[in-house]
Chains A and B, each alone.
Chain A
Amino acid sequence: MDIQFFIELFFGGLTRGSIYALIALGYTLVYGIIELINFAHGEIYMLGAFTALLVAGVLGVYGFPVGGILIVAALAAVIWCAAYGYTLEKVAYKPLRGAPRLSPLISAIGMSIFLQNYVLLAQTSDFVPFPRLLPEMEFLEYVNYVMGPSDFLILLVSTLAMVSLSLFIRYTRMGKAMRATAQNRKMALLLGINADRIISLTFIIGSGLAALGGVLIASHMGQVNFGIGFLAGLKAFTAAVLGGIGSIPGAMVGGLVLGLAESFTTGYFSGNYEDILAFGILILILIFRPDGILGKAKVQKV
């Protein structure tokens, strides 16, 4: 019984953790390249959920098959939000590239508030039901208590996304250019890498991943609201810092560790402490190991 409960909590933590990891990747990619905490990232996640909701609604009217709707809606959300991410960078951060570090940070917070209120006004302030787009998965029947179709989907999709991102960064020219820009932007520029394009690419990838997370969670929880990005964004930010901000494997590890920690705390102690735990970890990490689990201690450039 106890082992069973442990396994249940473990998989619950994995599900939650992989969502944090998907969003955390966006924070970490952007931070790695331009050292900016993109606080509007959580809102991209929320926009992803809303886009999928709208697309699914339209497709539903035309009677598409359920599984197909989810795939098309998710793709639409990823593309649409990637465009949002691209625009966001051009509008809110690029003009401030040479400005003091605080300026783009404030611009990011401004964009976050703007996007929330934009959805509030253009859509609704209510909670909106997200259609059930997942087919029943028979083969999950015997692990039913451990994971349902949506947990399975979240694990599968996020693992695929993370693996392909790692491969992309490791083995493609663009990936190499991203790594080079992250290491030293000036040097990369001198070697003929178009840093602006790399920065745009980073925002596109990060936003796409966040949108994917938004769609997955919306279909898992069954509802959407303009405010869902705030807490999810903060948690993912915590995960990114926990893993070592700027480090891609760090974001994944950080997300999973945070998800598991929350799940076990709720399971063995009390749900009252879920947020306290998450943000307690954030504070402790910032005090004792600001570079996170996998981050490398940087030599301060003087």
Chain B
Amino acid sequence: MKKGMTWLAAMAFCVTLTAPALAAESLKIGVQGAHSGDLASYGVPSLNAAKLVVDEANAKGGVLGQKVEVIAQDDQCKPEMATNAATKLISDKVAVVIGPICSGPTKAALPLFQEANLISVSPTATTPGLTEDGKNPLFFRTVANDNAQARLTSDFMLNKLKAKKIAYLHDNGDYGKGFADNNRVLMEKGGAETVLFEAVTPDAVDFSAVVRKLRRAKPDIVVFGGYQPVASKLIQQMRRDRLTTPFIGPDGVKDETFLKMTGKDSEGVYASYPKDTSTLPEYKKAREAHVKAYGSEPGFGYYNAYAAAQCLLAAIEKTGGTDTAKLKEALRANPVETPLGKLSFNEKGDAAGMALSIYQVKNGKFVELDHSITLQ
């Protein structure tokens, strides 16, 4: 790890040194994200992905005859550092940006990219507002936004489970409450009754009051919005109090730690998560490239960033240049084969063509069920 970081730092140093010399002929791709600090594990895989896609393009003679070059800027997933990183990328005259990684920094950096008329594609920022309010017409992402999950889970509950009485619990955070709210809207539209809608205090010493309320409300299913730690406490307490109601959550629940924490209690729990695409040839290619270059399995967001880099390079190739307006059209109009499926982007900038599936815990493992939606 340490060696890797030193190597990264050395790379970054060389890039900065050589950048002016190559400026005339190379095509620069900015990569912004957490490359150091606490959240480096969220950002470094994306940087690796960008480098590997660029290496592959360069091995084939570059894009439009130009060598492609990666310019990395570290924002540590901190909004206050994100504006600096974005400014540096802009002054380095990058053609397009992959990133930022986290939603907060993305929100902070987008106005700068917008002003510089620069396209950015985030591989991992999922906050719905980034694309939904139409303020960021040059922003794209190769990850499903949080609202998409509720479309899948509500469809699953209404049509597959035929659930009629629903209880919603959430952790009062943006992500968790958003998931519960969105499900509630869609479920009520589908005719399901809301029997409980309630927040739990994540750090409370005991959830028994909420669990007892659940038992009293007699729901067909519990929709939980939030992350794994609260979900595991809740499900343990429910099962201990002999409450066997089914339980469904967002991707924050589909996590190895959740299984480890809950043991047998999590059996049967549903969660939404991107569809398993590991059989696609592009996926295999991306994985092999990473294993070959770094000797390990790819980390968080790697395939999303790989897809982002592929889409961007394809769009540049297609339009024969880096004109922002043309690139924007090309990203929307031309689906590209990526590790996540055949991707293009919709009007808002969200990825179209990726799929989300319902997973269920069976024998202590999350297993993909045959119920998915493809994002449009």
Contacts and interface: CB of A to CB of B under 8 A. Distances in A.
A129 B228 CA distance: 12
Interface in A2-39: 5, 8-9, 12-13, 15-16, 19-20
A263 B172 contact: no
Interface residues of A, number: 40
Given A127-B229, A231-B203, A262 B236 contact: no
B216 interface: yes
Contact of A217 (B199, B205, B208): B205
A263 B213 CA distance: 10
B212 A144 contact: no
B78 interface: no
Interface string B213-247: 10110000000000011001100110011100000
**Which of B204, B216, B232 has the most CB atoms of chain A within a 10 A radius of its CB?**
B204
A76 B198 CA distance: 38
B15 interface: no
A232 B205 contact: yes
Contacts of A9: 209, 212
A267 B213 contact: yes
A258 to B, nearest CB: 11
A279 B204 CA distance: 14
Contact of A16 (B206, B229, B242, B263): B206
B253 to A, nearest CB: 13
Contacts of A152: none
Contact of A266 (B205, B209, B236): B209
B200 A225 contact: no
B203 A227 contact: yes
Nearest to B209: A266
A220 B212 contact: no
Contacts of B203: 227-228, 230-232
B285 interface: no
Contacts of A228: 203
Interface residues of B, number: 32
A262 B261 contact: no
B208 A15 contact: yes
B257 interface: yes
Contacts of A41: none
Contacts of A271: 169, 198-201, 209-210, 213
A272 B208 contact: no
A145 interface: yes
Contacts of B228: 127
B209 A262 contact: yes
Given A126-B257, A148-B241, A271-B199, A13 B205 contact: no
Interface of B: 169, 172, 198-201, 203-210, 212-213, 215-216, 228-229, 232-233, 236-237, 240-242, 257, 260-263
30 contacts: A8-B208, A9-B212, A13-B209, A16-B205, A16-B206, A19-B206, A20-B205, A129-B232, A129-B260, A129-B261, A129-B263, A148-B240, A220-B206, A221-B206, A222-B232, A222-B261, A223-B229, A225-B229, A231-B205, A232-B203, A235-B205, A262-B209, A266-B209, A266-B210, A266-B213, A267-B212, A271-B169, A271-B201, A271-B209, A274-B204
Interface of A: 5, 8-9, 12-13, 15-16, 19-20, 126-127, 129, 132, 144-145, 148, 150-151, 217, 220-223, 225, 227-228, 230-232, 235, 262-264, 266-267, 270-272, 274-275
